[in-house]
């Protein structure tokens, strides 16, 4: 029997791509291998965003060579966010290197005895393929692919191409199918649909599509000659898409990632605060607290504008949703960008102290070939990048802890994701990790039976402990 093993690196978008790869492979008869050495096809879905991610793929290659020595019939494929330079480096390490956008064309290649890359053809958006969802209660839905922003350090526009948006109608249909309750009369069971929907895009607030106001038709299917009259055409931007998603019946949370601060409109913040299914959590990448560095990064906003934006978002949320819980804000930041002086780094520290983030994803700069920043001298030493990373992490630990302490004794909604020992681990609406103690609660007697049944269902939890990176609680 043909078995496959999938190795995924990178962000949620890559994870979502892997769900589509799994669906395509299973459609042509492959079954998932429970162990890597049982597979006769290994697909590595890689990420080129940071050098460390590329190094990890190199690390995996040695294992793949060993496996191919033991099993000469084993085939290997490399796909994902691939730079031209990486393609060259990995050419002799994999049997095939395939573009993720050509996923609909993989089956004819894989069913041939000898792979032949020339059979690739252009195909419509690969995001139209139905994925094999990895979780029944938390699902990833890409709304677009690629990016037009060209931040100077970023490879996304080169590896994923320019922005392409999925039609709104297709996205809303996918949400409707995922969240609906299913009744199985034979097994006398009702299964709840998805409880958490993540809308994904490299820059979600650039989202834009056109639909026909009457039928919700996707205009891209028609030439303009046959397009319905202009009066019937409606433009769907990101806030409108959120409203449409919020209107889908069902009990579920809506999350999205990631927006660009330069495109964050009043309409978006009011929609976020006003639509109750949208969770009070926002990842808003700042990247630096220094204006000169932001300019060199081609980010198109200043540190002051970013701070004002966060203030306004917090105020809008407090006004519409009340004071607790306050919207939780995380960020992405790069330390050691080419030419970043100690003083410029201190501006980032200052911004972190002022904003008091709930979480931050801190990256040590590494040049990526082909980007504008790669032409600049990587002037900050490895040790200094490490130092800046640690200093910033310390500030974050303090602010996150302070924010988390506000949750003590409060009752919050939680979506449990998995069980770890006698703990249930899940996320709050504000995207804080929470460990739920089962044994000391009033459910003590039934704890062992109840634990697995609570996974993927909304529960109420009383917070009893606050740490920098999460909360502790018990069933309320």
Nearest-approach distance from CB 285 to ligand SF4, in angstroms: 7
Please tell me the distance from the alpha carbon of residue 51 to that of residue 24, in angstroms, as a whole number: 29
> Which tokens go with 473?
């609680």
Nearer to ligand SF4, 149 or 218 (CB): 149
7 or 156: CB nearest ligand SF4: 156
Q: What is the DSSP letter of 197?
A: E
Site for ligand SF4 in 146-205 (CB under 6 A): 147, 149-151, 154, 156-157, 202-203
Other Cβ atoms closer than 10 A to 181: 11
The CB-of-200 to ligand SF4 minimum distance in angstroms stands at 12
Q: Report the nearest approach of ligand SF4 to the CB of residue 294 (Å).
A: 12
- Structure-token match 């294992």, residue found: 63
User: Cβ(66)–Cβ(60) under 8 Å?
Assistant: no
Give me the least distance between CB of 155 and ligand SF4, in Å please.
Answer: 8
Tell me how far apart the alpha carbons of residues 20 and 76 are, in angstroms, rounded to a whole number.
Answer: 17
Task: Please give the size of the binding site for ligand SF4, defined by CB under 6 A.
Answer: 10
Of 152 and 468, CB closest to ligand SF4: 152
Rounded Cα–Cα distance for residues 252 and 89 (Å)? 44
Give Cβ neighbours of residue 441 (< 8 Å, ≥ 6 apart). 447, 474, 475
Q: Considering the complex, what minimum distance in angstroms separates the CB of residue 147 from ligand SF4?
A: 3
Q: Is residue 403 at the binding interface for ligand SF4, with CB under 6 A as the rule? A: no
Scanning 97-105, 145-153, 359-367, 440-448 for contacts with ligand SF4 by CB under 6 A, the matching segment is 145-153
Least gap, CB of 340 to ligand SF4 (angstroms): 17
Stretch that binds ligand SF4, among 144-152, 266-274, 313-321, 338-346 (CB under 6 A): 144-152
Cβ closest to ligand SF4, residue 289 vs residue 456:
289
By CB under 6 A, is residue 39 in contact with ligand SF4? no
* Binding of residue 13 to ligand SF4 (CB under 6 A): no
Q: Specify the stretch interacting with ligand SF4 by CB under 6 A; choose among 90-98, 142-150, 234-242, 438-446.
A: 142-150
Within 8 A by CB and 6+ apart from 274, the residues are 320
Contact string (CB under 6 A) for ligand SF4, positions 89-128, x = contact? ----------------------------------------
Q: Copy the structure tokens of residue 176.
A: 């409707």
- Residue 310 is a binding residue for ligand SF4 (CB under 6 A): no
Question: Minimum distance from CB of 49 to ligand SF4 (Å)?
Answer: 8
Chain-centroid distance of CA 337 in Å reads 24
DSSP-derived pairing of the beta strands 3-8 and 41-46: parallel
Question: Is residue 236 within the footprint of ligand SF4 (CB under 6 A)?
Answer: no
* 416: phi then psi, degrees, rounded to nearest 5: -65, 140
Report CA Rg, the chain.
Answer: 24
Nearest residue (CB) to ligand SF4, 202 versus 237: 202
CA-wise closest residue to 468 among 418, 433, 429: 433
Distance of CA 100 to the CA centre of its chain: 17
What whole-number distance in Å separates Cα of residue 316 and Cα of residue 149?
A: 27
Distance CA 110, CA 230 (A): 44
Nearest CB to ligand SF4, comparing residues 151 and 254: 151
> Residue 433 class from Cβ within 10 Å (0-12 exposed, 13-18 middle, 19+ buried)?
middle
User: Among residue numbers 247 through 306, which ones bind ligand SF4 (CB under 6 A)?
Assistant: 260
Which residues sit at the interface with ligand SF4, rule CB under 6 A? 147, 149-151, 154, 156-157, 202-203, 260
């Amino acid at each position: 029997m043909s078995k496959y093993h999938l190795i995924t690196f990178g962000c949620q978008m890559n994870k979502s791509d892997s769900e589509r790869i799994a669906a395509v492979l299973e459609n042509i008869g492959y079954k998932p291998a429970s162990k890597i050495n049982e597979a006769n096809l290994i697909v590595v879905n890689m990420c080129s965003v940071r050098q460390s991610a590329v190094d990890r793929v190199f690390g995996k290659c040695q294992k793949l060579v060993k496996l191919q020595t033991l099993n000469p019939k084993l085939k290997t494929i490399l796909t994902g966010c691939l730079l031209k330079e990486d393609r060259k480096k990995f050419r002799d390490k994999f049997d095939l290197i395939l573009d993720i956008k050509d996923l609909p064309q993989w089956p004819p290649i894989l069913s041939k005895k000898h792979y032949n890359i020339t059979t690739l053809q252009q195909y419509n958006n690969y995001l139209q393929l139905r994925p094999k969802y990895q979780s029944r209660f938390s699902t990833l839905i890409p709304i677009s692919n690629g990016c037009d922003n060209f931040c100077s350090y970023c490879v996304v526009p080169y590896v994923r191409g320019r922005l392409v948006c999925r039609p709104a109608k297709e996205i809303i249909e996918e949400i409707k199918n995922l969240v609906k309750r299913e009744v199985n009369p034979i097994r006398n069971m009702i299964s709840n649909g998805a409880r958490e929907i993540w809308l994904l895009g490299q820059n979600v607030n650039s989202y834009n599509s056109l639909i026909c106001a009457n039928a919700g038709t996707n205009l891209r299917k028609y030439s303009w000659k046959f397009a319905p009259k202009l009066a019937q055409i409606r433009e769907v931007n990101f806030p409108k898409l959120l409203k449409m998603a919020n209107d889908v019946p069902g009990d579920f949370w809506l999350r999205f990632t990631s927006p660009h601060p330069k495109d964050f409109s009043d309409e978006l913040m009011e929609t976020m605060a006003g639509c109750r299914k949208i969770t009070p959590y926002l990842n808003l990448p700042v990247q630096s607290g220094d204006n000169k560095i932001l300019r060199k990064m081609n980010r198109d906003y200043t540190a002051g504008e970013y701070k004002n934006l966060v203030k306004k978002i917090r105020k809008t949320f407090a006004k519409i949703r009340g004071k607790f819980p306050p919207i939780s804000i995380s960020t992405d930041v790069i330390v050691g960008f080419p030419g970043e002086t100690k003083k410029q780094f201190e501006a980032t520290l200052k911004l972190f102290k002022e904003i008091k983030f709930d979480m931050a994803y801190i990256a040590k700069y590494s040049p990526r070939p082909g980007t504008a920043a790669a032409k600049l001298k990587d002037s900050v030493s490895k040790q200094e990048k490490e130092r800046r990373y640690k200093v910033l992490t310390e500030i974050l630990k303090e602010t996150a802890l302070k924010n988390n302490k506000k949750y003590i004794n409060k009752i919050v909604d939680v979506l449990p994701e998995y069980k770890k020992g006698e703990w249930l681990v899940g996320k709050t609406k504000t995207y804080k990790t929470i460990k739920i103690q089962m044994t000391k609660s009033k459910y003590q007697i039934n704890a062992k039976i109840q634990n697995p049944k609570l996974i993927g269902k909304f529960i109420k939890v009383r917070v009893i402990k606050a740490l920098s990176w999460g909360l502790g609680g018990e069933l309320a």
